[in-house]
Amino acid sequence: MLGEFHRVLAPGGHLLPAFPVGDDTVRRTEALGHTVTLDFHRCSPDRIADLLRRAGFRVDARLVREPDEAEKVPQAYLPARKAPDR
C-alpha cells in the first residue's frame, strides 16, 4: 500500500501516517449501536518507518505521544517525504 502512495504522490510531496502504537490486533464487534467486525492493527514506529523507507520515502521525524483520555495506547506520527525529481 505504501508503494501506491509513493506512486501517486508528486515529487517532493509529503505523507503523514498516524497510527496507534503496539504489536497486536484489536477486534471491535460493535460500533455506534451496530454489529460490526472491525480489526485495528497496531504497529511499532520502527516497523512503519522501515516500510516507508522501503517504499521510497524519507522519514523526516518521529513523534510518539502518550494516549489522551479517550485512547488506550500511545499514538505515533511519522512525517515522510517523497524525494523531489532532479
Residue-wise DSSP of 58-79: EE---EEE---TT-SS-EEE--
Report pLDDT digits (tens) over 19-65: 999 999 999 999 999 999 999 899 999 999 999 999 999 999 999 99
HSE-up of residue 56 (Cα within 13 Å, Cβ side): 17
pTM: 0.83
Amino acid at 28: R
Which domains does the chain show, CATH number per domain? Answer: 2-82 (3.40.50.150)
What's the mean pLDDT in 60-73? 95
The band of 85, judged by pLDDT with boundaries at 50, 70 and 90, is: confident
Q: How far is CA 26 from CA 16, 53, 54, 74, in A?
A: 23, 26, 26, 14
pLDDT surpasses 80 at 4: yes
